[in-house]
Amino acid sequence: MGESLNRAATPELLHYRPWRGEFRTPAASIWPIARVALTSIFQKWMFWIIYILGLLIFLLFFFGQYLLSWAETQAGETDVQLGGWGRMNPRHLIALFRGFLKLDGSAESYRSFFAYQGYIVMIVLALAGSILIGNDLRFGSLPYYLSKPLSRWHYLLGKGLAVAVFINLMTTLPAIVLFAQWGVLESWEYLFERFDLLLGILGYGLVLTVTLTVLLLATATWLRRTVPLIMMWTTLFFFCRLLSAAMVDGLRFSPRWRLIDLWNSTSLIGAACLGLDLETIRPGNQPPWYEAALVLGGVSLLCLTYLIRRIRGVEIVR
């Protein structure tokens, strides 16, 4: 009787089960950080609205190529009367529309696609910057990340990977789909003969990824809130474009003044990756592409330096 009472009075200790999984290196934490950041963006309804707008641009290029290819197969070889404008072969007219709408599978087509999609990407990134990294500084989440056995580089790479995945989902991946579609519509030899275009698409996407990722992380770390971040991105990518155009085209200053427009510099390097003649792109009077690369490289280095110093300033309790 007394033994049973003593056994009932003895508290049962809480036992923890040992970890039976596989321990991974701190570098493996990059993807979980990126996954959480992407999930937080995908949960916002505003993101899906703007994403649908970007998808409409892709569908315009995608089905536009199909429509013109179908019209070309239905067109006859005989000339048709164009009222008082004379006669014209329908195939020549379709080719004219292809060139005007940039749906001819040339390097200019992919440059136009990147340009249109890039504006949508910038809008979404400006809205999502505070979600990605600004809130971690505002609400004290960053010390929680850094208190774990991972370094500041792992945190920055995880957030940068989230931005990179999003950028390439809206630009590089759809451009590759358009490249493959053109090969299916025209000839499979196009995929091999214009392999340089595929490399140019990847290069253009890499330039956009590196530049926009570093700029977004730096500005979001500095401003943290959505409204100031939108104002800063408006200044960087819209006001600077108007200012550079006014100084070069209006006041006839040196074309190097276009280098203050970071978006123009990005487009200039992308055009060089696609193999376009920089003398024929619009607007004209462009600086050399390597000067634009130096400017973007310098800006990215400054942003990265600021990021490292800002993250190092966070107090960590391990």
Say if CB 162 and CB 38 are below 8 A apart.
yes
- Matching residue, tokens 């790479």: 157
CA distance 289 to 265: 8
If you average pLDDT over residues 287-301, what whole number do you get? Answer: 93
pLDDT at 269: 93
CA distance 102 to 96: 10
CA distance 129 to 41: 10
pLDDT of 7 above 60: no
User: Torsion angle of alpha carbons 251, 252, 256, 260, nearest 10°?
Assistant: 20
Q: Is the dihedral of CA 12, 18, 20, 25 positive or negative?
A: positive
Give the relative orientation of helices 107-129 and 226-234 as an angle to the nearest 10 degrees: 150
pLDDT at 49: 83
pLDDT band at 297 (very low <50, low <70, confident <90, very high): very high
pLDDT at 186: 73
pLDDT at 276: 87
Tell me the residue type at 266: T
Which of 170, 148, 186, 198 lies closest to 50, judged by CA?
170
pLDDT of 2 above 70: no
Phi-psi group of 19: left, alpha or beta (phi > 0 → left; psi -120 to 50 → alpha; rest → beta): beta
pLDDT of 292 above 90: yes
pLDDT band at 203 (very low <50, low <70, confident <90, very high): very high
Burial 195-215 (b: 16+ CB within 10 A, else e): eebbebbebbbbbbbbbbbbb
If you average pLDDT over residues 262-273, what whole number do you get? Answer: 91
pLDDT of 79 above 80: no
pLDDT band at 126 (very low <50, low <70, confident <90, very high): confident
pLDDT at 279: 78
pLDDT at 202: 95
Tell me the residue type at 47: F
pLDDT of 117 above 60: yes
If you average pLDDT over residues 199-227, what whole number do you get? Answer: 89
For the segment 40-78, what is each residue's pLDDT rounded down to a tens digit? 888 878 788 888 888 888 888 888 888 877 777 776 566
- Per-residue HEC secondary structure of the chain comes to CHHHHHHHHCCCCCCCCCCCCCCCCHHHHHHHHHHHHHHHHHCCHHHHHHHHHHHHHHHHHHHHHHHHHHHHHHCCCCCEECHHHCEECHHHHHHHHHHHHCCCCCHHHHHHHHHHHHHHHHHHHHHHHHHHHHHHHHCCHHHHHHCCCCCHHHHHHHHHHHHHHHHHHHCHHHHHHHHHHHHHHCCCHHHHHCHHHHHHHHHHHHHHHHHHHHHHHHHHHHHCCHHHHHHHHHHHHHHHHHHHHHHHHHCCCCHHHHHHCHHHHHHHHHHHHCCCCCCCCCCCCCCCHHHHHHHHHHHHHHHHHHHHHHHHCCCCCC
pLDDT at 12: 53
- 225 versus 18: which is more confidently predicted? 225
Average pLDDT, the chain: 80
- 291 versus 32: which is more confidently predicted? 291
Tell me the residue type at 113: F
CA distance 152 to 213: 16
pLDDT band at 102 (very low <50, low <70, confident <90, very high): confident
If you average pLDDT over residues 241-261, what whole number do you get? Answer: 89
Say if CB 159 and CB 310 are below 8 A apart.
no
pLDDT at 97: 67
pLDDT at 193: 80
pLDDT band at 10 (very low <50, low <70, confident <90, very high): low
pLDDT at 6: 54
